[in-house]
Structure 1
Amino acid sequence: MKSSAFIRKNFRRTVLASVVAIGAFGASNSFAAATSTTATGTVIVPIAIAKSADLVFGKFAPGAGGSVTVSTSGARTGSGVILSSVGSSPTAAKFDVTGDGAATYSITWSGDTELSTGAGGVGETMALARISDLTGSNATSGEVTSGTLTAGAQSIYLGGVMTVGAAQVTGDYTGSVTATVEYN
């Protein structure tokens, strides 16, 4: 008989503990609260860049050697070289950037740091230092690294300084400069 009394006593305790647990945990639902949010997102116009003018240094003779500079407005000056007014006109390169409203963006420059002709032997390259700005305001030094689109558009102007040797080989010299833009 003792074991049946023990079982009943344990059964009562188990039932009592269950009732207390149901009361305690079941009651928590009556204190719950809920709300929701609206999830939104906006897809913007991708940023884009297009070249609308090439950087052209024009024609010149090496003279004693020196440099030819084309400013961001396309104005050309020379030091130690003889500038020719015959043939191609000097121009600054122009890149047109388009994108979302008044977004800001970064600009990175890469590409050739020298122009070359032929196989790249002695006298067949000229060093190129880039000059850039956002206004085409005749800058002759510095590089721009960021911009802000106004009504979804902005232009970047690229000039440069080309170093010319006294024994520079005659010919057409070319190189490539790449402007990459990315939203901030």
Structure 2
Amino acid sequence: MKKIILATIGILATATPAFAGSGNQSTATGTATATIVAPIVLTHPASASLNFGRFTTGTGGSVTVTAAGVGSVGSDVTFVPGSTNSADQFTVAGDASRSFSITTTGGNVTSGATNLAFTTSASASSASLSTTGTASFTVGGTLTVTGTAPAGAYTGSYTATVTYN
């Protein structure tokens, strides 16, 4: 019995205590980054406009101006001599080389109580800013002309929007 007790004491004295090992926890440092880009800014020059030109209505029809500024008429609408058409123009500034999308709405031109509706079409649905962070685009449209629209100067507006992709 004495030998068993001495053997047990010997084993206990040489045994390694069961402490928490180094594999139970580990710590490392992570990194964080952030990039702030220049806001996208759309500008419309005061001298630019979508100009449908000068025309007679006849029984009605349409006037179309392409995004390149070329005008044409449909149905019984006729341009008068000396009429000029132009596409509207916009400039964009923002984060260099970033792509963006372009959307435009339709609108109405009004003279007195008469409204004529038009749709618009941008020269592209998307584009990219240059390496200096600039771009431009044009907008054309189609005006629906009623045969009952009275003579006069018509004005209106529409919205163009650019959004980073």
Query: Normalized against structure 1, the TM-score is what?
Result: 0.69
| Corresponding residue of 1:171 | 152
- 3-state secondary structure, aligned to 1:74: coil
- 3-state secondary structure, aligned to 2:34: coil
Deviation at 1:108, TM superposition (A): 3.0
Deviation at 1:76, TM superposition (A): 1.0
Matches within 5 A, 1:64-79: 64-79=59-74
Structure 2 unaligned runs (5+)? 1-16
Structure 2 counterpart of 1:42, which letter?
T
Distance 2:85 2:104 in 1: 21
Deviation at 1:69, TM superposition (A): 1.0
Residues 64 and 131 from structure 1, CA distance in 2 versus in 1: closer, same or farther, beyond 3 angstroms?
same
Deviation at 1:161, TM superposition (A): 0.9
Residues 53-101 of structure 1, C-alpha deviations (whole Å, 9 max, x = no match)? 21111211112321111111111111221212336x3110011111112
| Corresponding residue of 1:36 | 29
Aligned partner (choices 30, 55, 61) of residue 56 of structure 2: 61
Structure 1 counterpart of 2:52, which letter?
F
| Corresponding residue of 2:77 | 81
Aligned partner (choices 115, 123, 129) of residue 133 of structure 1: 123
Residues 3-58 of structure 1, C-alpha deviations (whole Å, 9 max, x = no match)? xxxxxxxxxxxxxxxxxxxx65x524x33332212212121111010013211112
Aligned residues: 144
Q: Whose strand fraction is larger, Structure 1's or Structure 2's?
A: 2
Distance 1:65 1:111 in 2: 19
Structure 2 counterpart of 1:97, which letter?
V
Distance 2:30 2:102 in 1: 37
Residues 127-182 of structure 1, C-alpha deviations (whole Å, 9 max, x = no match)? 20212213xxxxxxxxx2x3322322222211111111222211111121111112
Q: CA RMSD in A?
A: 2.0
- 3-state secondary structure, aligned to 1:38: coil
- 3-state secondary structure, aligned to 2:58: coil
The reply to whether residue 181 of structure 1 matches residue 155 of structure 2 is no
State whether residues 103 and 122 of structure 2, in contact with CA within 8 Å, keep that contact through their aligned partners in structure 1. Answer: no
Comparing 35-44 and 67-76, the one that deviates more:
35-44
| Corresponding residue of 2:110 | 116
Structure 1 runs of 4+ aligned residues shifted over 4 Å read none
Q: Whose helix fraction is larger, Structure 1's or Structure 2's?
A: 1
Identity of aligned residues (%): 38
Distance 1:162 1:50 in 2: 24
The reply to whether residue 97 of structure 1 matches residue 77 of structure 2 is no
